[in-house]
């Protein structure tokens, strides 16, 4: 039996866990920067599935890779080799200047895998006493939803009543290199940080922060782990956000757009000896590195480069940011962004960003509030100038509404 959109929403509410509060729209089709609801109404997607569809919805070349590979070989497990994995390794390493890769599925799994590898490196290479390895993280971080990860979140909604949590993490303020330096002890093995905090509301650290962090970690023999699951793969106008400060992390985590949204694919990319500590039997994933994932990721990376999406993100990001900044409203506290990772933050008196997201949906633009007061604008990286102007024409009256 077919259900109408209202019924679909009702069934979700009845049968599903209520761990999301989606906007009131039921999508049934997507192409490029556009999505359509079940009634055929078109919207510009300014969320891009939290930057998983940087390449645009249903990109034909990635889709072709998915269809082709799914008709040949979908899953072997890592008990056997497959003919896609090595090619994925080669291509992702060449592109990101990495030496080793660990393929996983979700972003949270990449984070968990990095934590495991860095702890092991701490015991076996840095010679930290057993069970004392410590990893430093930042306040307002977002790294995923597993128990370990929410255990070092500072967001009460993410962590309350999910304990007990794994020990071995210490929190310092984001954007404060001195606090990091002061927190490092002889048992510190890693520093895990987002180059720009996405879920916290597109928080951009002070200029020079990452450079300082890089220097401190090198000096103190601490592994620098950059979580680029959201900032990576073109979102900020560079392949990786670390390039804005001309640094290289020791471990880089990518996910989301690594598949262009077709399939969960993530990876830990390593420039140092860290991943080398993992030996057979010590880590794994049934689906990690499967031929479909590899074929899809290869196509997703290829179109990002071949179709100039990264340069486009830089140019269009500047245009979008200028446009958003030119919209005057006393209730807007700040407009900020880098590349096509943009945000409008409202003053508390505005009464929250949700109402603006709902009004934008009415006007044909889909975006989502992060926390209470901020709207993130992050369209697919293929957006052009006319389309941004189209969006700005609709965003302006909504941001001015009182
Ligand atoms: C989305 C995200 C994750 C988690 O990825 P999942 O695929 O949802 O597990 C981790 N870190 C950052 C910065 C993210 O944006």
Question: Which DSSP state fits 354?
Answer: H
pLDDT score for 220: 98
Q: Which of 50, 106, 108 gets mutated to test ligand 1 (max ligand atoms within 8 A of its CB)?
A: 108
The full set of domains in the chain, from first to last, is 5-55+308-399 (3.90.1150.10), 60-306 (3.40.640.10)
- Nearest atom (ligand 1) to Cα of 266: 7
**Residue 401's pLDDT band (cuts 50, 70, 90):** confident
Identify the pLDDT of residue 228.
98
- Ramachandran category for residue 348: left, alpha or beta (phi over 0 → left; psi -120 to 50 → alpha): alpha
Whole-number Å distance, alpha carbon 143 to ligand 1 midpoint, is 5
pTM (predicted TM-score): 0.98
178 C-alpha to ligand 1 centroid (Å): 27
- 256, 320, 368, 377: the catalytic one is 256
* pLDDT band at 91; cut points 50, 70, 90: very high
d(CA 145, CA 274): 24
- Neighbour order of strands in the sheet with 266-270: 100-104, 266-270, 251-254, 223-227, 188-193, 134-138, 169-172
Mean residue pLDDT of the chain comes to: 97
- Which residues does a 6 A CB cutoff place in the pocket of ligand 1? 50, 106-108, 111, 142-144, 194, 198-199, 227, 229-230, 255-256
Task: Give the per-residue pLDDT at 223.
Answer: 98
pLDDT of residue 275: 97
CA torsion 351-357-360-366 (nearest 10°) is 170
Question: Residue 272: pLDDT above 80?
Answer: no
Say which residues have a Cβ less than 8 Å from residue 50's Cβ, sequence separation at least 6: 198, 230, 256, 378
Token code pair at residue 273: 């000896």
Question: For residue 341, what pLDDT band results from cuts at 50, 70 and 90?
Answer: very high
- The sign of the torsion formed by the CA atoms of 383, 387, 388, 391 equals negative
Predicted pLDDT of residue 371: 84
| C-beta separation of 346 from 374 below 8 A | yes
Catalytic residue of the set 45, 100, 140, 142: 142
């Amino acid at each position: 039996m077919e259900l109408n959109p209202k019924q679909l929403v009702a069934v979700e509410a009845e049968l599903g866990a209520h761990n999301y509060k989606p906007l009131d729209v039921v999508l049934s089709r997507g192409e490029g920067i556009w999505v359509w609801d079940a009634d055929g109404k078109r919207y510009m997607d300014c969320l891009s599935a939290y930057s998983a569809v940087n390449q645009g919805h249903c990109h034909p070349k990635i889709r072709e890779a998915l269809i082709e590979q799914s008709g040949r070989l979908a899953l072997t497990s890592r008990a056997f080799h497959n003919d896609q994995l090595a090619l994925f390794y080669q291509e992702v390493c060449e592109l990101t200047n990495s030496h080793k890769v660990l393929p996983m599925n979700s972003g949270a799994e990449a984070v968990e895998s990095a934590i495991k590898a860095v702890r092991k490196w701490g015991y076996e290479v840095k010679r930290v006493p057993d069970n004392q390895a410590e990893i430093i993280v930042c306040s307002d971080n977002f790294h995923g939803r597993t128990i370990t990860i929410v255990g070092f979140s500072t967001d009460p909604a993410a962590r309350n009543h999910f304990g007990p949590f794994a020990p071995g993490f210490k929190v310092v303020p984001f954007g404060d290199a001195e606090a990091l330096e002061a927190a490092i002890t002889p048992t510190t093995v890693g520093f895990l940080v987002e180059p720009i905090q996405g879920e916290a509301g597109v928080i951009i650290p002070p200029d020079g922060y990452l450079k300082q962090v890089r220097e401190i970690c090198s000096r103190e023999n601490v592994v620098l782990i950059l979580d680029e699951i959201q900032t990576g793969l073109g979102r900020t106008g560079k392949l990786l956000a670390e390039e804005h400060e001309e640094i290289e992390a020791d471990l880089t985590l990518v996910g989301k757009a690594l598949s262009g949204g077709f399939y969960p694919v993530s990876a830990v990319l390593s420039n140092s000896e860290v991943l080398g500590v993992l030996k057979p039997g010590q880590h794994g994933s049934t689906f990690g590195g499967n031929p479909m994932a590899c074929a899809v990721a290869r196509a997703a990376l290829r179109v990002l480069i071949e179709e100039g999406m990264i340069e486009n993100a830089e140019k269009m990001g500047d245009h979008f940011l200028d446009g958003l900044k030119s919209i005057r409203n006393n209730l807007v506290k700040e407009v900020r962004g880098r590349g096509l990772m943009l945000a409008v933050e409202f003053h508390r008196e505005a009464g929250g960003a949700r109402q603006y997201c709902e009004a934008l949906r009415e006007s044909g633009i889909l975006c989502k509030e992060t926390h209470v007061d901020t709207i993130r604008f992050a369209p697919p990286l293929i957006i052009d100038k006319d389309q941004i102007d189209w969006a700005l024409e609709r965003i302006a009256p909504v941001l001015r509404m009182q």
